[in-house]
Amino acid sequence: MALYVLYESASGYGLFLAHGIDEIGQNTEAVRTSVTDLNRFGKVVKFVAFTPYGSALDALNQCNAVSEGQMTDELRNFLENSLPKVKEGKKSKFSLGLAEPKLGSHIFEVTKIPCQSNEFVLEILRGVRLHFDRFIENLKPGDLEKAQLGLGHSYSRAKVKFNVNRVDNMVIQAIFILDTLDKDINSFSMRVREWYSWHFPELVKIVNDNYLYAKVAKYVDDKSQLSEDMLSGLTDIVGDEDKAKEIIEAAKASMGQDLSPIDLMNVKQFAQRVMDLAEYRKKLYDYLVAKMNDIAPNLAALIGEVVGARLISHAGSLTNLAKCPSSTLQILGAEKALFRALKTRGNTPKYGLIFHSSFIGRASARNKGRMARYLANKCSIASRIDCFMDKSTTVFGDKLREQVEERLDFYDKGVAPRKNIDMMKSAIETADGKDNDEPKAAVNGDANEEPKTENKKKKKEKRKLDEEKVEVNGLSGEDGTAKKKKTKKSKDVVMEDVPSAISEGKSKSKKKKSRTEDSD
């Protein structure tokens, strides 16, 4: 059986014939060694046909179709014109070798051309790729490399769809730096406290905040020079005049030792460095909040910017986080505890990084696990919306946060929450540009629709009864009021029914008597 090989190059489709090869003698190792030699390879593989692409856009479309396993019209026409005709009802005497098995199955479904893809075919295609420029006569030396470079760039751009504002790597780096800064600022602040306490030990108990302590230490400098004239400056730093007076009084009776001017200068410089780090930490936090609102606005609205950034950082990217199921997202960050529990057959952890969310802290001890499971479900939905939605909006995150709040009230107070489908419908309507009050009015209208219809039915029935009463009163016309006529009519009906019932009873008794007499 003859073997034709289809090669999809950057400049067009090429068809080659591998002749003189038996199926039994197909040795992959022998082909692999003979591929590098053009003389040996050219005796086995012969060039059959070649069709170039019309333009760069056409090349990109053909490349996309091949990667998706679809046969285009151009490829079908090329194969039908270049390959031998296959008669209906007869077995074909050739097969087509391809690198993509999906493309081969699609070609066989449409054209009934038998296709194959195995190691032998791949080795032949490797040799064709290596000597392709030798088979095509009119191809210049640098044309194929240029076509490959241009097609590779256009294919990558089309697949990636790069957006500078949606780069989640910046969030990952920012949250790493934020965590590092928190540790460094805490350790440096403790060093400032310990260093300056040799000179002014009473200040530690008065000022608890690390940033304020560094500010006060830099402002006071030498405690012996602290006087009432510096009260206004201390008040601006501390924010409390009583605390500023307490600092001045403590400096007068301080038990600390004196420091040399060089030591005090070094303490001031180190305190300034700690202040600079604390201010940079605030700026970095604002940057992280802004980036999270651009990259994952719904996740940030649901669980917060810092916790959302930690989840993205731990997963590796927003796309990886969107691919995670809610059960994985729930214990993300607690992998050590999970594997330890699996190893010792103990209880598995209920939450990981989402424990830092305020919802878990607000839930009671018995409901923390249930709340973590529900919150992980909503975080999974929010991350998928942020990852795959083109338009940036926080509507879905706000609605999901409302759902978590309602679920928290349901666990604590028993208040029934709204359904997820109603919340998502209202979020979609709001995202499409409608007012926020419209979906709420629609929901309330659905709830009150049934009692309104029942009241209307009752009113209609009352009106019909009144009309019937008026008609009856008009026909009788004897009494003055409608009530009297109604009572008289009812009495007449009763009196008419009574004698008829008595007469029926008498006739029945007579029949019974006659039957008894006949029997006697």
181, 323: one domain: no
More confident: 447 or 277: 277
CATH of the domain at 105: 3.30.420.220
How large is the C-alpha radius of gyration of the chain? 44
Is the predicted pLDDT of residue 450 greater than 80, yes or no?
A: no
* CATH number for the domain that contains residue 251: 1.10.287.4070
Higher-confidence residue of 31 and 262: namely 262
* Span 133-154, pLDDT tens digits: 888 877 777 788 888 888 888 8
Confidence of residue 290 (pLDDT cuts 50, 70, 90): very high
In a domain? residue 459: no
Which residues have a Cβ under 8 Å from the Cβ of 397 and sit 6 or more positions away? 297, 298, 299, 300, 301, 302, 382
- 144 belongs to a structural domain: yes
- Amino acid letter for position 223: K
User: Are the beta carbons of 328 and 334 closer than 8 angstroms?
Assistant: no
Residue 433 has what pLDDT?
75
**133 and 208 both lie in a single domain:** no
The distance in angstroms from the start CA to the end CA of the chain is 112
Domain match, 153 and 181 both:
no
- Looking at the structure, do residues 6 and 138 belong to the same domain, yes or no? yes
Note the pLDDT of residue 30.
66
% the chain with pLDDT above 90 = 22
Mind spelling out the 3-state secondary structure of 363-399?
Answer: CCHHHHHHHHHHHHHHHHHHHHHHHHCCCCCCHHHHH
Q: Identify whether residues 151 and 187 lie together within a single domain.
A: no
Q: Tell me whether residue 114 is in a domain.
A: yes
Within 10 Å of residue 244's Cβ, how many Cβ atoms? 21
Alpha helices in 316-448 (DSSP H): 318-323, 326-330, 335-344, 358-362, 368-388, 395-413, 420-431, 437-447
CB 197 within 8 A of CB 258: no
153, 60 contact by CB (below 8 A)? no
pLDDT given at position 426: 87
The CATH number assigned to the domain holding 300 equals 1.10.246.90
Provide the pLDDT for residue 471: 47
State the total domains in the chain.
Answer: 3
Q: Are residues 137 and 181 in the same domain?
A: no
Question: Per residue in 299-321, pLDDT tens?
Answer: 999 999 999 999 999 998 898 99
Examine the domain organization and report whether 359 and 423 are in the same domain: yes
* Whether residue 323 is found in the same domain as residue 419: yes
Measured CA to CA, the distance from residue 496 to residue 373 in angstroms comes to 75
Considering the domain boundaries, does residue 425 fall inside one?
yes
Query: Are 131 and 15 found together in one domain?
Result: yes
Task: Specify the pLDDT at position 374.
Answer: 92
pLDDT of residue 455: 52
Looking at the domain assignment, is residue 490 inside a domain? no
Is residue 394 a part of any domain in this protein?
Answer: yes
Same domain, 93 and 210: no
Last residue within a domain, chosen from 261, 285, 309? 285
With a cut of 60, say whether residue 5 has pLDDT above it: yes
Q: Is residue 7 part of a domain?
A: yes
In the chain, the amino acid numbered 196 is Y
Instruction: From 226, 250, 285, give the residue that closes a domain.
Output: 285
User: What is the average pLDDT value for the chain, to the nearest integer?
Assistant: 80
Domain boundary residue, one of 407, 432, 457: 432
Query: What per-residue confidence (pLDDT) applies to 313?
Result: 92
One domain, residues 191 and 104: no
Q: Note the pLDDT tens digit of each residue in 457-509.
A: 555 565 656 655 544 444 344 444 444 444 444 444 334 343 444 444 444 44
Q: Is 500 part of a structural domain of the chain?
A: no
Q: Residue 76 belongs to what domain range? A: 2-160
pLDDT in tens, 26-84: 556 666 677 777 787 787 888 888 888 888 889 988 888 888 888 999 998 988 888 88
**Among residues 42, 110, 49, 102, which one has the least CA distance to residue 78?**
49
Q: What is the pLDDT of residues 118-133, one digit of tens each?
A: 888 888 888 888 888 8
Q: What is the mean pLDDT of residues 203-226?
A: 89
Do 127 and 61 lie in one domain? The reply is yes
pTM for the model: 0.56
